[in-house]
Amino acid sequence: MKIILFAALLVSGLICDLATNPKEVAPGEEFELKYRETVRIHDTNLSLTFSSLKEDSRCPEGAVCVWAGNAKIGMTADAVEFELNTTLEPAQAQFSGYTITLIAVSPYPKLNGMHKPEDYSARLIVSR
């Protein structure tokens, strides 16, 4: 019984730690940020959150389109909201002396399928 209680406390402590201490990445390091996930930039006070999926009008795989389309995401950096795009401007944002660049948004749309916002992630890089 004591082992089960100890294991439960350990797991709940890890979950609380993950909720209060987001993952950390180094400036200049490309990283993936899942929908609603927060990351802290190492040795800075900067935290970023993929806060919303604003649009995904990219041409689905297997379709023939006149335009490639765009994915637009909402980001939050230390309580300041901004948007980044895959093919339109802005694809970058300046914040606290850092440049936040959107590299890609996944998953790519499929011809006969819709993705939920929770399925999405963004590839980003934060540089000086």
**9, part of any domain:** no
**48, part of any domain:** yes
When pLDDT is cut at 50, 70 and 90, the band that residue 114 belongs to is confident
pTM for the full model?
Answer: 0.80
Structural domain that includes position 63: 24-127
Range from 2-6, 32-36, 89-93, 106-110 carrying the lowest mean pLDDT = 2-6
**106, part of any domain:** yes
**18, part of any domain:** no
Q: How many domains does the chain have?
A: 1
Q: How many CA atoms lie within 13 A of 19 on its CB side?
A: 6
**8, part of any domain:** no
| Residues in contact with 111: Cβ distance below 8 Å, sequence separation at least 6, in sequence order | 60, 61, 62, 63
**15, part of any domain:** no
